Chain A
Amino acid sequence: MSAPAEEKSSFVINGKSWSGAVHPLKRLLDTIREDVGLTGTKEGCGEGECGACTVFLDGQVVMSCMVPTCQAEGKQITTIEGLAENGRLHPMQESFAQEGGAQCGICTPGMIMAAVAYARDPGSAEDMREALAGNLCRCTGYIRIFEAVKKAMAK
């Protein structure tokens, strides 16, 4: 029993190049949190059910707990920390804050990522409920989240 071997890995995260030594099968979630040092992406279940670890990989929504780091090689990753531009909140972040879309906040980064993806391409899902069905929230009953998404999309 020993620690696994590491290999060089590189990708672009929130517009900045990153490279470091990680095991190729290390979960992208862990690489983002432990190696890159961005802890906004959360772990809720570790099996792709709760969506707390949602990030964009080359613009696609993925559950980063289900993606081995080697699959991100050379790709573009966006996390919750990459949404604000020049210190200005993304409209989705702003409306989540205003409408009470965040309560305990642990699902919020993943929920906002899923909502941003839906807002960019509303045709990607039948409706908002379907678009967010992969992101669990235990606090809100989703009602304030729907309000927040609708408001951000109306902006």
Chain B
Amino acid sequence: MPDVLTTPAYRWVGHNPPRKESLEKVTGSAKYLDDLKFEGCLHGKTVRSTVPHGRIKKISFEPGVPWDEFTVVTARDIPGKNVVSLIELDQPFLADGLVRHMAEPVVLLAHPDKGMAEKAVKRVHIEYEELPAILTIEESLAGGNIQYGKDNIFKKYHIQKGDPESVWPKADVVIEGEYWTGPQEQLYIEPQGVVAVASPTGGVTVWGSMQCPFYVHKGLKPLFNLPDDRVRVIYTVTGGGFGGKEEYPTLPAGHAALLSWKAGGRPVKIVYDRMEDMWATTKRHPCKTRVKAAFTKDGKLLALKVDATMDGGAYVTLSTVVLSRGTLHAFGPYACDHVVIDTRAVFTNSPPYGAFRGFGAPQTIFPLELHLHRAACELGIEPHELRRRNLLHQGDRMATGQVMQEETGLEGLMWKAMDESKYLEKTKAYREHNRSSTRIKKGVALALFFHGAGFTGSGEVFLDSKAGLELTRDGAVRILSANTEIGQGSFTTHSQIVAEELRIPYEMVEVAVPDTAVVPNSGPTVASRTCMVVGELLRRAASDLKEVLVKSGALAGNGHTPSEFRAAAGKYLQRFGELKVYSKYKPPPDVSWDDKTYTGSAYAAYAWACYVADLEIDMATYQAQMKDFVAVQEVGRVIHPVIAAGQIEGGVAQAIGWALYEDVALKQGVMQNCQLTNYILPTTADTPPIRVFFYENPYQNGPFGAKGLGELPMDGPAPAIAAAVAFALGDRIIPRIPILPETILDAIS
């Protein structure tokens, strides 16, 4: 049982009822997209570009293939607008004349036989006039080849507090460093998959593996020039997302729908195989960061300057908001009077980089935390002590001007993490060990960090989310929300929240399938917002629903048994036919944000954490191997300790992969190692014991005090691991991840 330091006073919140969908998942009866049967279904395939930048000269179809049996779609067949509606309108569903990255969709094929469809892909030949490609951040910023705007820059942010320039000359010590974090593949085990049925008479219906049904809905309307009610998007059980099924599914959904539209409304299924999924879909943004920090000789942080550049790929997609979150996490949980943060996301001819758990924050937390470790080594101060002297406390002002209203509790989290990991004993013992051992070097290090929950700044206000509840015919309650269950347990935690508020058994709460024709738009399932933001909407809806039942006279106002609730619901439905109660997002009263100056409360709530990594490096193979991992965090009220711990453990393992194993080998801007044989995920043998501890400081605007936690565990492990590697190598910093055996070899030779 995970360790939660709390006293749960609730019947459902803080307990571990069985997950709503676990029976189906352990028996194999859960129906994922590829498990669904559709009569007369065609299999759709995507013919993709094989140059990073070029003009399409000719598309030809090789003889010897029964092309009359195929449905073939190109950009010319699109009935509406050939553009994916997201933040900018720059990405086409199908390249039309110009391709801007490798693996860009150009031609779609569908055939009743899956094998025939697969084989035909290679029989479509696309000739290009190749154009000069931009393959790195440096080439993008060099200015010789401009492919976006005036300067290839999608977006820039600037945050300034005080005047760091005035501090550098006066400081005892100024330390600079440059850091690199590589791309990472989400690698949900269920690949992208959709089925579409589309025709001018019937409209468009799509079933699919996805995080955000309303993103797909928004994307398909202009593609077919259809109004809201003629496009319907239905979630199917989704085998992992991690951001990879946030914005991307709109593309295959559009593709399947275009094929079905042309095939007279026959269902079309598109399921990527692993290689196509890794080759063509989004990855975590690579990021290059320079950090400059000034200290007094006893370790007081006087000034901080962070300059980060993310590679956005060939279309804007979500890069501007990923960059925003990266910017707002770049200064860490420290009090500092003089801070300047400059960030930018740039165009390259790579497939667009996209959403991935952490959403830009891991990329800026890594350089800052590793830089502080470096600074501690150079100043001769223990790394935890350097942190302690600079921690952000209640009343302190962040770089955005946000005054911390709550006590962050960071120092307590740090001591707890150090205690549980035996940090102080280990640092001493490992230094001793490393002096005498030449074969095995040991390292231990920590990282402190925060993660802002919910959309950035005014994002939640723009989302304007709505969620609701309805009474079912048998007197139970059904949740109406667009938020999807992608493994994070949202159907369960939402049900606990509703059951708690209504004082009814958890078993009396059902969850409607997220289907845009049935549920309101409660916003995307992203940004650690589902439990905190949508959960609170549902709690308020539950409170309102109870009030309606009480006011109608059906329910007593002073408590009820489950059967009394059922009877009251039955009575109400008999009289009024139905009861649906919705609630809309209202920003917490003390939260305001200025998008122009990038000042104010960037996030309504933060989760705080200290993680400790413990590892060994075998100096014969240069392989770093995790030995132990301690994750201590404060996430507000923990709704379901087992689910919460599972989120932390899974996120830590994913971050261990990013730090030590997962190397996206790029050539011509696109991934080359598109298989699980050569893209290495952590297995059971690579994952250490991950020991998770929660502190609870209930957040007043979250449901029963909950804050977001899904992305938090992606943030801390990589810098802690890189610092532990530095420890093992005798304070030699390797400023880039992944730290592969080759990376260590290069660094020490």
A residues near B, CB below 8 A? 1-4, 33, 38-47, 49-50, 52, 79-81, 83-84, 89, 93-94, 96-109, 112, 128-130, 132-146
Contacts and interface: CB of A to CB of B under 8 A. Distances in A.
The interface centre, meaning the residue of B22, B65, B273, B653 with most chain A CB atoms within 10 A of its CB, is B22
24 contacts: A1-B116, A3-B115, A38-B28, A39-B32, A49-B677, A81-B29, A84-B27, A89-B26, A97-B25, A99-B642, A102-B22, A103-B489, A104-B239, A104-B241, A105-B24, A105-B487, A135-B684, A138-B189, A139-B240, A139-B650, A141-B649, A142-B684, A143-B689, A144-B646
Nearest to B649: A141
B685 A129 contact: yes
B152 interface: no
B30 interface: yes
A137 B19 CA distance: 18
Contacts of B651: 141
Interface residues of B, number: 64
B238 interface: yes
Contacts of B26: 89, 93-94, 96-97, 101-102, 105, 108, 112
A107 B19 contact: no
A1 B653 CA distance: 45
B646 A138 contact: no
A97 B116 contact: no
Which 10 pairs from chain A and chain B are nearest by CB?
A: A40-B28, A104-B487, A106-B239, A105-B25, A141-B653, A141-B649, A49-B676, A80-B28, A39-B35, A103-B487
The interface centre, meaning the residue of B25, B187, B191 with most chain A CB atoms within 10 A of its CB, is B25
B645 interface: yes
A104 B684 CA distance: 17
A4 B116 CA distance: 10
Interface in B655-687: 675-677, 681, 683-685, 687
Contact of A52 (B189, B238, B489): B189
A3 B113 contact: yes
Given A93-B26, A103-B488, A133 B273 contact: no
Contact of B28 (A4, A39, A100): A39
B143 interface: no
Nearest to A95: B26
Contact of B27 (A3, A89, A143): A89
Contacts of B116: 1-3
Contact of B681 (A4, A33, A136): A136
A138 B240 contact: yes
B218 interface: no
Contacts of A46: 273-274
A39 B186 CA distance: 24
B653 A49 contact: no
A102 B19 contact: yes
Contacts of A2: 116
B25 A102 contact: yes
Given A102-B25, A132-B684, A44 B189 contact: yes
B389 interface: no
The interface centre, meaning the residue of A98, A104, A144 with most chain B CB atoms within 10 A of its CB, is A104
Contacts of A40: 27-29
Contacts of A97: 18-19, 22-23, 25-26
A84 B24 CA distance: 12
B396 interface: no
A49 B65 CA distance: 33
B115 A4 contact: yes
B112 to A, nearest CB: 9
Contacts of B66: 1
Contact of A81 (B28, B64, B676, B685): B28
Contacts of B106: none
A42 B685 contact: no
A50 B23 CA distance: 22
The interface centre, meaning the residue of A41, A84, A142 with most chain B CB atoms within 10 A of its CB, is A142
B645 A100 contact: yes
B447 interface: no
Given A47-B274, A103-B650, A104-B240, A138 B188 contact: yes
Given A83-B27, A141-B654, A141-B690, 6 more contacts: A42-B190, A44-B190, A97-B25, A104-B189, A104-B238, A136-B681
Contacts of B187: 138
Nearest to A129: B684
A43 B188 CA distance: 12
B625 to A, nearest CB: 12
B119 interface: yes
Interface string B689-719: 1100000000000000000000000000000
Nearest to B35: A39
A2 B273 CA distance: 21
B15 interface: no
B580 interface: no
Contacts of A102: 19, 22, 25-26
Given A3-B113, A143-B690, A138 B22 contact: no
Contacts of B27: 40, 80-81, 83-84, 89, 93
B280 to A, nearest CB: 16
Nearest to B237: A105
A134 B677 CA distance: 12
B125 interface: no
B675 A47 contact: yes
